[in-house]
Amino acid sequence: MRMYDNPVIGGFHPDPSVCRVGEDYYLVCSSFEYFPGVPLFHSRDLVHWRQIGNVLDRPGQLDLPDTARASGGIYAPTIRYHDGRFHMITTNVDGGGTFLVTSERPEGPWSDPVWIDLPGIDPDLAWDEDGSCWCALAGVSVARIDTVTGKVLEGPLSVWSGSGMQDPEAPHLYRIGDWWYLMLAEGGTGLGHSVSVARARSPRGPYEPAPDNPILTHRSTGRPVQSTGHADLVQAPDGTWWAVLLGTRPRGWFPGFHVLGRETFLTPVEWVDGWPRIAPVLERRPAPAACHPLQPEPPRDDFDAADLAPHWISPRRRPRSCWSLSERPGWLTLHATGGSLDLPGHTFVGRRQQHPECRIAARLDPGSGRAGLSVRMDEAHHYDLEIAGGEVGVIARIGPVRQELARRPLPSGPVTLTVDIRTADLGPDTIAFSADGGEPLAELDGRYLSTQVAGGFTGRVIGMYVTEGSAALDWFEYLPTDGA
């Protein structure tokens, strides 16, 4: 029997939404303050996913000013396919509110935003038999909208607020058979997270709650996957039903720390007496019937392509003036736009940490500037392996404290910088920094770069930065070392 491992998309990939077109599945996730926004994945079996782009990949679609707070930006997208077009709806909480973009092809190009004047976050889309489009939002309310103009045609109508727990959000509306099902998350996105469902004969209601809500929660259990919720349903070609949802993998001593953010998990769904039942989220399960493993992405980026790979992200914006792949062919050249990683506006290009144990290495030519590798949660929580003035050192920023921990001379010219992350017994992990294969300059406790310390909705992003002058990267390598 084929098995699959959870999460199916590791690391900071929360709030998944999925749709199926024929035998192909497409999935999007929240991106918060990072650009480009809304990572887009493709799969043939719900288990093996490859990122094929970002829906919001140009400034005209996503404008995040330096004043956009950490864990602000883009919240909870929904992707749907209707009448020959892909639709993605989401909310920019730092600029403009709820908007919709469309495309004939999942790879894009996606349209400019169509703004929709509706209150709330976590928007969803569903179509009636007559072609009417309904948008559900956290709260929970529904409204009938024109997807071409963004005009609100009816509503919003308050229809159901869950079973009484906090934060009814992440609504998804489905027309299945003769019923409209409204599924939502409640209990908060922390350890109390859960999924509940109700149904009605019309999207306007009245809605009848399921008799055994919540239909999924891991709260107050010892399961290794916690905070399960924000689910979306999809039916496979063989008729089976599945849910993609977010969860966390906390580690260490009480209260437990999760450093990768909220990740995307997959679990089967059964229908009993007209209601969906979502199975508990296990780390290993029998795979869907059709299994189509994808060729894994290469662990090393030599920056030989004409554009950056879609997994590279930057806080808030990435102006073309701050990076180049042609200025020094085969290298990624970065130019400083801000003088400190402690403030918005700096030049940083990184990728999500996706495994509890991994090794990151990069070949850096620092020139005469100030540059290095950073393990980042936000401006107030990051560890940096930095080269400046002919020396390499380690800097820790934890809340209001910024401390230089180690520094030693370094020969001029390119240098290989390495970050080794290993799980630990009491804390979640340790993070070790070294240069050119030497002894570690410092080994730091990873709990200070966790959601439990930093707060917010994101996870770690690891990448290259420059805060003075210019620097160039010959290659960047990310290797999981935990067997995942």
Backbone Cα Rg of the chain: 22
Environment class of 268 (CB within 10 Å of its CB; exposed 0-12, middle 13-18, buried 19+): middle
Structure tokens at 177: 């058979």
Give yes or no for a contact between 156 and 168, defined as CB atoms under 8 angstroms apart.
Answer: no
Report helix, strand or coil for 378.
strand
Half-sphere exposure of 276 (CA within 13 A, CB side): 31
Closest among 132, 140, 129, 131 to 76, alpha carbons compared:
140
Catalytic residue, from 57, 169, 365, 445: name it.
Answer: 169
Q: Which residues of 400-425 are buried (b: 16+ CB within 10 A; e: fewer)?
A: eeeeeeebeebeeeebbbbbbbbeee
Question: Within its chain, how far is the Cα of 94 from the centroid?
Answer: 17
Give yes or no for a contact between 207 and 198, defined as CB atoms under 8 angstroms apart.
Answer: yes
The torsion angles phi and psi of 248, rounded to 5 degrees, stand at -130, 160
Environment class of 430 (CB within 10 Å of its CB; exposed 0-12, middle 13-18, buried 19+): middle
Residue in this structure with the two tokens 């001029």, named with its chain if needed:
412
* 15 in active site: yes
C-beta contacts of 382-391 below 8 A and 24+ residues apart: 382/341, 382/449, 383/431, 383/433, 383/444, 383/449, 384/341, 384/465, 385/417, 385/419, 385/433, 385/435, 385/441, 387/415, 387/417, 387/435, 388/468
DSSP assignment of 427-458 equals SSEEEEEEETT-S-SEEEEGGGGSHHHH-SS-
Q: How far apart are CA 194 and CA 197, in angstroms?
A: 10
**Residues in Cβ contact with 467 at an 8 Å cutoff, skipping those fewer than 6 apart:** 336, 338, 339, 340, 341, 346, 347, 369, 370, 371
H or E stretch covering 97 = strand 97-103
Question: Within its chain, how far is the Cα of 195 from the centroid?
Answer: 20
Q: How far apart are CA 387 and CA 383, in angstroms?
A: 13
* 66 in active site: no
Q: How far apart are CA 345 and CA 336, in angstroms?
A: 9
Instruction: Give the catalytic positions in this structure.
Output: 15, 169
